[in-house]
Chains A and B, each alone.
Chain A
Amino acid sequence: MGPVYRLTLRQLSGRWRLSIMTVLASLPVIIAVIMLRSKDAPSVDEFEKGVLSAMLAGSIAPLVVLAIAAAALGNEVEDRTLANLTLSPVARWQIAVPKLLGVMTIAAPFIAVSAFLTSWVAFLGDTTASVAVTTSALVGVALYASAFVWLGLVSTQAIGIGLLYIVLWEGFFSGFVSGVRLLSIRHYAIDLMHGLDARRFATGRHLSLTAALIMAALVFGGFLVLSIRRLRRMDVP
């Protein structure tokens, strides 16, 4: 797996991608600072819905991950270098897993720092809350990465479809259609945050910690299996 993992890190750490990710990841921190300095500082519930859920888990994290995950295998399909990997005597999971790990390795630090600083600023140095927010954001990164790596493999329009998914599904429908929340990565992450720090995030109806973890595992594993299956069955250009 080592060669594919190292190749992925090198392929995805281009300057423009890292710059976009830096800008995106800094937005929640800036917003948190601005909100706290305003006269009408938001309640925990308002901050959670507006910044942690809608912005961090529902927009910034998926956008950052989409920018690199869709390219992890998608670019290899487009420039036909995927054949270098599939014409090697390695099982397909040994291609998909390091690709996914590479995406997570690059995206995770940006989102982790962003989530930690945002919650640290907003909750005035509450370590438990900050750890809960950061952990849930990292789980979100893993889930989005698994989904978007697969998307890059099945469509040449992965960025466009991914943006539609983020805006319509995670941003619009999951916000007010209760059933959709059961199929929303954003809500798994937020539910996990509630489970990890029920004291700070005690409001609203959410999945239990166990249920959120099970759903997260199913989504992560499901898309990974789909990617491996796709690699086995696709006609490689």
Chain B
Amino acid sequence: MSDVTFDIAPGITGLLGPNGAGKTTLLRMMTGLAEASKGTVTIFGEPVRDNPPLYRRIGVMSEHETVYGFMKGRDFVRMMGRLRGVQDLERAVDKAIALVDLADAQHRPMDTYSRGMRQRMRLAATLVHDPEILILDEPLNGADPRQRVHFKRLLEQLAAEGRTIVLSSHILEEVEQLADTVLLIVNGKLAASGGFRAIRAALNQRPYHVRVMCDSPRRLAAEVVGLGSVDAVHVDPDGAVVVLSRNVLDLQIELPRLAQASRISLRRVEPLDDSLESVFGYLVEQ
């Protein structure tokens, strides 16, 4: 990692980047597991490295399945609660396990769990001391679709209670759906940060492809090429008009007006690259 500076506020922040970009390294530095050779990481204004009392206020779930297979799920959560000095331990354990919806499996050894169940029990252990900050590295690994929905609701609930949640994921749709703010890490550097659409706006140098389905594609292509917001146009074999624009905001206004004036019926207008994947694909190329 180099030249990375950012602040994180309450809410859900997604840490995003291609494999090997440095997401896990960054999270490890943020949690004090790894030391930065230069610079500082502070949480609540305190250095995080070699500062054990700070972990009363932080919950960390690493990407690895760091469980003791011989241990029952409830015993694991209880042990983590005890290590973190939780008062009224049994009630806190009950609450954490209920949050991840694993009460039925809590008395089974964890080596009998599926991967998704182990992740959820680890999340319960991360939540047992009611931390103000949650740092989750690839938390949805191994989760099935139902568990993903449950996890999403849980994170939203935790964020609504005022917690600060940082999560990394290589599944872009998850970050897009979950995170209020996105940090894009590329080649060990912070490539962009902010809301997803703010990041998109910041990337105004990037050509933007829009696919238009209409009743008269060739006529629309001939008309649209004259717009100031359009750089290039072509018609796909399936009859879709693909417009290349560097000024998509103007295009959003001009295209419907043009279609109306030309009596062309627009059936569908969709961005071809309005996803996080396309955004950091572009950033990686840079």
Contact = CB atoms under 8 A, between A and B. Distances in A.
A177 B39 CA distance: 49
Contacts of B35: 233, 235
Given A7-B68, A83-B66, A84-B66, A90 B83 contact: yes
Contacts of B31: 87
B52 A81 contact: no
Contacts of B54: 89
Contact of A235 (B34, B56, B83): B34
Interface string B11-51: 00000000000000000100111110000000000000010
B84 A83 contact: no
Given A3-B79, A90-B52, A232-B50, A80 B34 contact: no
Contacts of B28: 235
B55 interface: yes
A235 B80 CA distance: 21
B62 interface: yes
A155 interface: no
A90 B82 CA distance: 10
Contacts of B79: 3, 7
A120 to B, nearest CB: 37
Given A10-B70, A81-B68, A235-B28, A88 B62 contact: no
Interface string B72-112: 00000001101111000000000000000000000000000
A91 interface: yes
B1 interface: no
B53 interface: yes
A87 B60 contact: yes
Contacts of A10: 68, 70-71
Contacts, number: 62
B171 to A, nearest CB: 22
A2 interface: yes
Contacts of B269: none
Nearest to B65: A80
Given A80-B64, A232-B50, A88 B84 contact: yes
Interface residues of B, number: 28
A88 B55 contact: yes
Interface string A89-102: 11110000000000
Nearest to A79: B66
B84 to A, nearest CB: 6
B33 A236 contact: yes
Contacts of A210: none
B67 interface: yes
A11 interface: yes
Contacts of A80: 62, 64, 66
A71 to B, nearest CB: 13
A80 B64 CA distance: 7
A86 interface: yes
A236 B62 CA distance: 11
Contacts of B67: 81
Interface string B128-157: 000000000000000000000000000000
Interface string A205-237: 000000000000000000000000000110111
Nearest to B52: A89
Nearest to A14: B70
A85 interface: yes
A4 B84 CA distance: 12
Given A3-B82, A87-B31, A92 B66 contact: no
Given A87-B55, A233-B35, 6 more contacts: A3-B82, A3-B83, A4-B83, A84-B66, A89-B53, A89-B54
Interface of A: 2-4, 7, 10-11, 79-81, 83-92, 232-233, 235-237
